[in-house]
Homo-oligomer: A and B are copies of this chain.
Amino acid sequence: MVFRTYMDQALAEAEAASARGEVPVGAVLVSPAGEVVARAGNRTRELFDPTAHAEVLVIRAACEALGSERLPGYDLYVTLEPCPMCATVISAARIARLYYGASDPKSGGVAQGPRIFSHSQCHHVPEVYDGLSAAPAEALLKDFFAARR
């Protein structure tokens, strides 16, 4: 299935992030035509930038390339449930569909905690599909944090 291919690319980005010593989360942004327009893993440590989550990096890259603050019709694939920052950016950029892997009880902002998409202050709500390739996404995170303990 096509969505599986996109999530596999996001997982590859998460693996590459892990190898760089970054929290292993990866994201892929797909245009309305089905083309992958940006892929990234976390780079907060490398860039000294607390906003450099995978989701923010792909959205910023695609917006810059397109010359637009908004990406209507674009789909985002990410290996972990977005945090509240990323969920808010996903909404602000008018992403059409959000596909994510593992849930994140510790820092998630979609299905728990602030539940960003559930308030009237959220002016665009994407379609959300969770649990895709959740097992390998979670395994990457567990291995990463286990190795640091």
Contact = CB atoms under 8 A, between A and B. Distances in A.
A19 interface: no
A75 to B, nearest CB: 16
Contacts of A5: none
- How many copies altogether? 2
Contact of A92 (B50, B108, B119): B50
A123 B83 CA distance: 12
Interface in A78-135: 83-85, 87-89, 92-93, 105-109, 112-116, 119-123
B123 A89 contact: no
Q: Which of A60, A114, A123 has the most CB of B within 10 A?
A: A114
Nearest to A109: B121
